[in-house]
Amino acid sequence: MIESPNALKSAGRFTIAARLRSFIFAWRGLRWLVYNEHNARVHLAASIVTMGAGLFLNVSANDWRWLLLAIGLVWLAEAFNTAIEQMCDRVEPNFDPVIGRIKDIFAGAVLMASIVAAGIGLLTLGPPVWAMLDGIRP
């Protein structure tokens, strides 16, 4: 997103200020996603719970790699899905079966990413949880 016509003139040049602005725009997009998309809030809660469990269970650096990859995969899918939905709604505000199918396909991608992330979470966090529960059984 470009703020002014003057920003267009400097868009081709590398400047630290331009890079910092791009981070501001990116954070603005993520904030919009969380505030406006219910599923993004569900993903945020799941991300927080997963990271909290990883910290509590003191998982290895290798396990953290998997957990962060899974969390990132879901967030990427949700962001792409939301962007495509926004663009489709802008291009065709009325119902269109082809656009509906496109939106369904992207929603399916989010579902698949979430299923894969849940699997990674269970495979990564499950064994330490079972070991902890096994240790407290009489």
pLDDT, tens digit (0-9, with 9 covering 90-100), for 83-135: 999 999 999 999 999 999 999 999 999 999 999 999 999 999 999 999 999 88
Exposed, middle or buried: residue 131 (CB in 10 Å: 0-12, 13-18, 19+)?
exposed
Other CB atoms within 10 Å distance of the CB of residue 18: 13
pLDDT score, position 11: 59
Q: Where does residue 77 fall: left (phi above 0), alpha (psi -120 to 50 degrees), or beta otherwise?
A: alpha
138 or 80: which leads in pLDDT: 80
Please say whether the beta carbons of 77 and 110 come within 8 A: yes
Of the pLDDT bands very low, low, confident and very high (cuts 50, 70, 90), residue 12 is confident
pLDDT, tens digit (0-9, with 9 covering 90-100), for 59-77: 999 999 999 999 999 999 9
pLDDT score, position 13: 81
The mean per-residue pLDDT over the stretch 10-25 comes to: 85
